[in-house]
Structures are given as C-alpha cells and as structure tokens.
A and B are shown apart, each in its own frame.
Chain A
C-alpha cells in the first residue's frame, strides 16, 4: 500500500503510462480536435476548405434543416430498438448459457462469439443475400405462392442485422454479472415459495442489472455510430447519421459539414448514454453497491 502511495506521489505512474497516453492522444484526442476544428472551417464549393476562416454556418445549417432532424431521429430510434431487442434476446440467452453443463457452455459461448471474428461487411452481404428481392426468403415466399416482399433497404433489414452484430456485446456483460450470482440464492427463493418466474423477476434480474446497463450502453453507442450495416442494408434512401457523414466527406466533398454532423452525433450520443447511465445506475447503485 505504501509502495503504491510512494509511486503515486513520485510521478512514476505518469512515466509508466506514457506509451498508452501517447497512443491515446495521437489516435483519439488529436483526430477529435482536428475534426472539431474542421467543423468550424469555411467551405466553398469552388475553392474547398479554407483553413484560416471560421464560421458557425454548418451548425446553423444542420439545426435549421429538417432533413438532418429526420436522420438523427431515425438513427436513434433504430439504435434504441436494436438495444431493446438485444436486451430481450440477450438476458434469457445469457441466463440459459450460465445454467448449461460444462462441455456445452463453452461450445455455445464460442458460437456466440464467432460472429465477431467475421467482418461486418461480410455479414452485411450475407443478410442482403437472404433479404434481397430474389433472396432466399423471397424465393421461399414465392415458392409458397406469396407475393415477394420488400425487405432489403428497409429499417427492418438494418435492425435485424444490427441485432445480429450487437448481441455478443450484450451477452458478455450480462454473462459476467451472472457469474457473480450465488446459485443457492435461487434455491433459497424457491424454498421460500417463489415460482420460477418470480425467482427470475425478483432475484435474478435485479442482480444482473449492472450487466444489462453496460450492455445497453455498448450496444446503443455502437449502433448509433454504425456505418457498414446501414450503408449496405439501408441503401441510398434509408440514411443514418454515419452514412450521411460519409456522403458529406466523399460525395459532396464538404468536409466541414461532415465534421459538424460527426461532432453533433458524438455529443448527442454522449448526452443520451450519460443520462441513461445516471438514471439506471442511480436506481441500482445503492442496493448493489457496485
């Protein structure tokens, strides 16, 4: 303990963390600052970005255009829906996983994690093969005598693919919380006359709330800033914020506008996640002492 205190006072801790700090500053802080600066630069369609002139016009454009409101709103409702679906699927899945026997538990845990090893782009194309106009699902519908349904380039396609990609990020923190549960507590609740459903609702769920909270934060954050899946499965019409940023940078070549949208997305995301964290943690912090 005293060695630790001496180290803290001596500043050796700062020295030792320099490599990590350097990496952090160069790869995160610096680009963020550059993006923030870029968002205030004047843009001219003939001359491009003016590095020495500053303006608020991009922010004013953004906040006065209902087109951007629509895109931000769509991004957040899709992310919220994805998060909700991940909770609804992830909690029971993690619980079943934690109650499995020894060989099966490891096998299924690996199965849940394997999607992470495959590129998001590959998985998105996989979904487009399934959901496309002459994809497997529509072929099956037609074979059964139905009319083909438009699935690809709809919010449905984006949501289903995002849930598929994000599920491991929900299951892993819940699984970690479940590991800390005393299985005897469930037996105790049963012996006290609780039904299996009541054991879940009154004993298990409240104890895994910290895991659910971390899961929702990760999934919402990643969904709201996701690019590949909305880009490939949402198509040209169904835009989300990240794909609009991409368009601004590479189609319009309006880098300052792209930077502005990115900055606003970051701030909005931070605001939503922090208030959600405060709201949920406030309820469970006192009781679980976490």
Chain B
C-alpha cells in the first residue's frame, strides 16, 4: 500500500463538483505535483488532505491510517501556503519553533532543531528578524522551515512559488527540490505552472475540471500527453488533423479539413530546411527571440505552425523567408478527445 493514498476523494459545493472521485497513490519520499488551470480542484484536494476542507466522499489514508475525519492539528502534516501565512508578530525563530512548542518539545531540543532547519534553508543569519523585514524568497524559506521542523510525514505545498518574481522562482524551485531530496520527505505540490511541475516532480498529476486526467513522470507526460488539453497545457504543441495508415502509424492528413484523429507535434521536433525540401512548405510569419531559442510562427497549407529552434549562434531566419519543414513520423502523438471540459 502506498504511503499516502486518496481513494475516491470528492468535494461538492452545493451543485458544483470541485473534486470528483480522485484516486492517487503517493509513495514514500516521492515528490508529486498536482498541475492544472485555476479552478481545476487541485487546491481543494490539497486542503482536504491538510484537513481544512471536509471531504464529501472518499478516504484519505496516510501510512495505513485513515485520516479523512481527523482534525488538522492531529494530522501533523507540514503545510506551506501560497501567502506563506507567517505569524507577523513573531521572529523567524519563534515562527519556526511554533510547531515544536505546540508539541511541548523541551527548550534545548527546540533550539537545536530550529538551528538545524534554519541552516538547511540557509536562513541562519536572520533568526531574530520579523517576517516584514524579509524578502519574498526569505519568507518562503521561513514557511518551508516552519513546516519541516516538525518532521511531518508529508509536506504539502500550495502554489509555493507563485508570489515570487521569475528569477527567484526558478532558484527556489531547485532549492525546494534540494531540500526535499536532503530530507527525503514525501511532498505534494499544487501548481498551475507546468514548467515548475515538470522540472522538480517525480510524477505529475494533471487535473481538469475536478478530475484527474493523467498521472505520469514529467518526461512521459511531455512526450505522451493523453488528451488535446494536456498537450496544449503542458508545453507548446501543434495540433494537426491526421489518420492512421495501413501499418498503424499516424500520418498527417495533407488536405485541409478534419482528420479522423488529432495529432500533436512539439515545436522543437520540427526541422527547418531549405524551401522545396521536406514534407511541408511554409513561410515565416513572425519570429520571437527567447534567448536560448528562436520561436517561429510559420504559415503552411495545414495552418499556422509553431517551430522552436535552438539559438546556435548563426543568424536567424528573417520574416517572409520560405522554408521547408520536416519531422520524424514517430514523433507524432495521437491525442484522445477531451472527456472533460473546464
């Protein structure tokens, strides 16, 4: 049996199904992300696990114990909130020590454990500061330290990075992963940012309109998105009409009109060749410089396609250039129709 298990967990607000019969098994030490657009039920799921929201149906089993109806204070889980939810009237030290004081840990042990965890999150020089004297990233670290110091069985992160600016967000992503690996703690993170979910999770759970639509490792999720929605939500994708040929391989339908199937082709999997060669001819409409990459929008007979090319230092193609496009047929992915609509 998995360490943390959700069995048919549901939440209904009046006539609205916020979360529908969610099944999830998280192994010990695993880092799992709940990914989805806002309103998909991911935060509600996390709140049910934390105990702040009562489940309408289903069970939550932690390490063999049914905690569905347990009070939040008796679950002993570590929670990091989107707003950090630090206690503004306490110093960093007192914020972090709060959970240990509630557990009536002896003072000497508290001092030692607080010092250890503040070292772990690299906040040791700021123990006597108040939250309002800290930067966003430092507050985030305090929140993390406060949740970790009680040595919870599971760490719950609710959009932990959404209040940080872009540079800091990337830095904290890796920081969270480093700390998670060091402590070896089972972690469940809620996020709407696919890059965040892909970069630091062991597995990603995609949610849409209260339902889980795919659970996979980041790489498999990216390479084999199951539905149109996931393909578009996780990374960029070109959606093409297509059929399956006699050998069972997907083929792009070269005439316009709806194909029997929807195929997904990632922008970086398309090669740009000289005009006249390749499977498809097109003309560059517009280009965007992304630093490490160039993003081209190309008009073709199949509609507008997005192509991403590595910035290899050579001069980029200019707008209006005619190009040929090619790709390996096995990189086309067949998508299922969306079974749920947000």
A binding-site residues for B, Cβ under 8 Å = 182, 184-185, 187-195, 198, 202-203, 206-207, 284, 287-289
A191 to B52, CA, bound (A): 9
Interface string of B72-89 (1 = CB under 8 A from A): 111111110111011111
Given contacts A184-B83, A187-B79, A193-B73, contact A289 B132 (CB under 8 A): yes
In the complex, the answer to whether B89 meets A206 with C-beta atoms within 8 Å is yes
In the complex, the answer to whether B146 meets A192 with C-beta atoms within 8 Å is yes
Jot down 18 A-B pairs with beta carbons below 8 A, ordered by A: A182-B83, A185-B85, A185-B86, A187-B52, A187-B85, A188-B86, A188-B87, A188-B143, A191-B50, A191-B51, A191-B73, A191-B75, A191-B147, A194-B98, A194-B102, A202-B98, A287-B89, A289-B130
Judge if B225 is at the interface, Cβ distance under 8 Å: no
A125 to B73, CA, bound (A): 50
* A-B complex: 5 closest residue pairs judged by Cβ atoms: A192-B99, A184-B85, A193-B102, A188-B85, A184-B81
| A203–chain B nearest beta-carbon distance, Å | 6
- Closest residue of chain A to B98 (Cβ to Cβ) is A192
In the complex, the answer to whether B88 meets A288 with C-beta atoms within 8 Å is yes
A184 cross-chain contacts in B, Cβ below 8 A:
81-83, 85
Judge if B150 is at the interface, Cβ distance under 8 Å: yes
| B141–chain A nearest beta-carbon distance, Å | 15
A190-B72, A202-B87, A206-B89 given; 5 more Cβ-contact pairs under 8 Å: A184-B83, A185-B87, A187-B81, A191-B147, A288-B89
Judge if B103 is at the interface, Cβ distance under 8 Å: yes
Partner among B73, B79, B146 whose Cβ is within 8 Å of the Cβ of A194: B73
In the complex, the answer to whether B89 meets A182 with C-beta atoms within 8 Å is no
B75 cross-chain contacts in A, Cβ below 8 A:
191
A189 cross-chain contacts in B, Cβ below 8 A:
87, 98
B85 cross-chain contacts in A, Cβ below 8 A:
182, 184-185, 187-188
Interface size on B, residues (CB 8 A): 31
| A162–chain B nearest beta-carbon distance, Å | 31
B103 cross-chain contacts in A, Cβ below 8 A:
193
A284 cross-chain contacts in B, Cβ below 8 A:
89
In the complex, the answer to whether B89 meets A191 with C-beta atoms within 8 Å is no
- Closest residue of chain A to B77 (Cβ to Cβ) is A191
| B48–chain A nearest beta-carbon distance, Å | 13
B82 cross-chain contacts in A, Cβ below 8 A:
184
A81 to B176, CA, bound (A): 53
B51 cross-chain contacts in A, Cβ below 8 A:
190-191
In the complex, the answer to whether A195 meets B81 with C-beta atoms within 8 Å is no
| A282–chain B nearest beta-carbon distance, Å | 14
State the main secondary structure of chain B at its contact with A. Answer: loop
**Chain B residues numbered 246-291 whose CB sits less than 8 Å from any CB in chain A:** none
A287 cross-chain contacts in B, Cβ below 8 A:
88-90, 130
B76 cross-chain contacts in A, Cβ below 8 A:
193
| B98–chain A nearest beta-carbon distance, Å | 5
B130 cross-chain contacts in A, Cβ below 8 A:
287, 289
A39 to B245, CA, bound (A): 108
In the complex, the answer to whether B99 meets A193 with C-beta atoms within 8 Å is yes
Partner among B78, B83, B87 whose Cβ is within 8 Å of the Cβ of A191: B78
A127 to B78, CA, bound (A): 53
A195 cross-chain contacts in B, Cβ below 8 A:
73
In the complex, the answer to whether B72 meets A191 with C-beta atoms within 8 Å is yes
**Chain B residues numbered 194-245 whose CB sits less than 8 Å from any CB in chain A:** none
In the complex, the answer to whether A192 meets B81 with C-beta atoms within 8 Å is no
| B17–chain A nearest beta-carbon distance, Å | 21
A189 to B90, CA, bound (A): 12
A202 cross-chain contacts in B, Cβ below 8 A:
87, 98
In the complex, the answer to whether B87 meets A190 with C-beta atoms within 8 Å is no
B99 cross-chain contacts in A, Cβ below 8 A:
192-193
By CB atoms of chain A within 10 A, which of B72, B74, B146 has the most?
A: B72
By CB atoms of chain B within 10 A, which of A184, A190, A192, A287 has the most?
A: A192
Interface string of B140-165 (1 = CB under 8 A from A): 00010011001000000000000000
B71 cross-chain contacts in A, Cβ below 8 A:
190
A206 to B147, CA, bound (A): 22
A284 to B89, CA, bound (A): 8
In the complex, the answer to whether B87 meets A203 with C-beta atoms within 8 Å is yes
| B72–chain A nearest beta-carbon distance, Å | 4
- Closest residue of chain B to A205 (Cβ to Cβ) is B89
A207 to B131, CA, bound (A): 13
A284 to B90, CA, bound (A): 11
| B132–chain A nearest beta-carbon distance, Å | 6
| A190–chain B nearest beta-carbon distance, Å | 4
A182 to B76, CA, bound (A): 21
A185 to B84, CA, bound (A): 8
A202 to B143, CA, bound (A): 17
- Closest residue of chain B to A185 (Cβ to Cβ) is B85
| B283–chain A nearest beta-carbon distance, Å | 51
| B91–chain A nearest beta-carbon distance, Å | 8
| B237–chain A nearest beta-carbon distance, Å | 35
A254 to B52, CA, bound (A): 66
Given contacts A185-B86, A287-B130, A289-B130, contact A191 B79 (CB under 8 A): yes
**Chain B residues numbered 43-80 whose CB sits less than 8 Å from any CB in chain A:** 50-52, 71-79
- Closest residue of chain A to B80 (Cβ to Cβ) is A188
B78 cross-chain contacts in A, Cβ below 8 A:
191
A192 cross-chain contacts in B, Cβ below 8 A:
73, 98-99, 102, 146, 150
